[in-house]
Amino acid sequence: MKNSILISLFTFSIFLSGCETNTPERAIGFVTGENSDSQWHLGTQEAIDVVNTVDQLWKDQDYEGMRQYFADSVVVMRPNGLSTNTFDSFIESISTGGNTTWTYDYAFSVDLDPSIGGEHVQAGFTVIYPATDDKEESSTLQHESYYIVDGKIITLSQYNIKDDSQ
């Protein structure tokens, strides 16, 4: 009898430990204004993968391949303060540059409200500008903020964090 009680208790404890606990999703930070009741959540790898793919297409200068990852009316704020509001004008603005190269240094995604979709992917790059007749080679650290909904980039804001020529 004692053994059957021990076996029953052991079986019951295994059953309880195997039950899934309902842990709430981790939320951090704060937001002011109309979304003040919201907090940031971790985003998904899928949104980061959009940026990863776009980065490779951009390096390959496959601008037509990039099109499927951008909304037609994508708003892009460039580090120099200029902005574009269509995919075609964005491509025109980047395809006239020099032989700039870069390294892709980091990316992460956060989501303000996972129930409505849309994620904010933050990515960092070291951008290298080649030497010209008037300037030596220089580099900047650039941070980019992407807002992605259903696999499409809706907005892209680019910021120079550090310019080694300063």
Cross-sheet strand order for the sheet of 119-129: 27-28, 40-42, 101-111, 119-129, 138-149, 152-163, 70-77, 83-84
pLDDT tens for the chain, residues 1 to 166: 566 665 655 555 655 555 565 656 678 888 898 888 888 999 999 999 999 999 999 999 999 999 999 999 999 999 989 999 999 999 999 887 678 899 999 999 999 989 888 999 999 999 999 998 998 999 999 999 999 999 999 999 999 987 665 5
| Domain spans in the chain, listed from the N-terminal domain onward | 39-163
CATH tag, 39-163? 3.10.450.50
